[in-house]
Structure 1
């Protein structure tokens, strides 16, 4: 029996828990919600307590509380900490669901940056975790249209969550059969929190001059 852990937050991480718990030969062993949990999304801890009471719930938010080697699979979904090598090396497969296209939008706030850059495509990516920031080989991805002239950050965020949900549903059951694809470093751009001041009117959910959203 394969033991799995989920680290992260909100509705999307809750969906990952549901998918893993429904897989033959897999047990949802441990869940570590972000700490503190966001107030604007579903609380992962409450979802797990209600729907997966047999899973071990660690509310510290710290990946170091997951004993190395305990779980065969670790899934990070909007987790807010960099996972260290000790856990990476001790885990058979560790994957991250990133709310942006890779390698063009590594790092922080990919939705905001895509709109700031006037992109007409955005996406979500499932990739293996290594010691870099969103640098691991790609397992699956989805892209969709966005419209910077009318879309607010909140619109594209919610659209990303809908598509990422399907991505998790399609890829998590097939991880053992998927051949990872290396990212093209020539296209790589990484955004850090220290760059947030450059986002301008895309730094928040909506623009101050917004006349409405879809």
Structure 2
């Protein structure tokens, strides 16, 4: 019964193998999501604000819409923290002993991944719209233009990576262990 799995993980216990962990598709995609959040956060925080000599305060490069920059920074920060939290959960997932607890973890992963895909889609729409509506006279030297484009591009990439995580989590949910099915048919082992 050593080969039985529940929701994509072996029976609880055993040693942590980093090589196996980092080869899992879910881990790879989650790290990519984490990197995308860093890129978005860095682009907006570093070059998302421009000031003109005649103005005292800086303004957001996305059509002077402070909400667009605030949204990108807030979502980048929260996504960064969420990725770290779920990476930690992925590390400890094989140590979870109860099948019901594993199912709750997988269901939480599905819900959070779906939510983030939607949040990044809204962010992409907002940022792309505001970037398109930006006036050239607001930023004649095109300061931060590359960072703004990168923010928009990585926002749409984030939609697809979080959507991929949702699909991977749904696939994980579908993987019901042979042991569970066996126990339903023949009862628990007598050992």
TM (norm. structure 2) is 0.25
Structure having the larger proportion of residues in helix: 2
Q: Which has the larger radius of gyration?
A: 2
Structure with the greater relative contact order (CA < 8 A, sep ≥ 6): 1 or 2?
Answer: 2
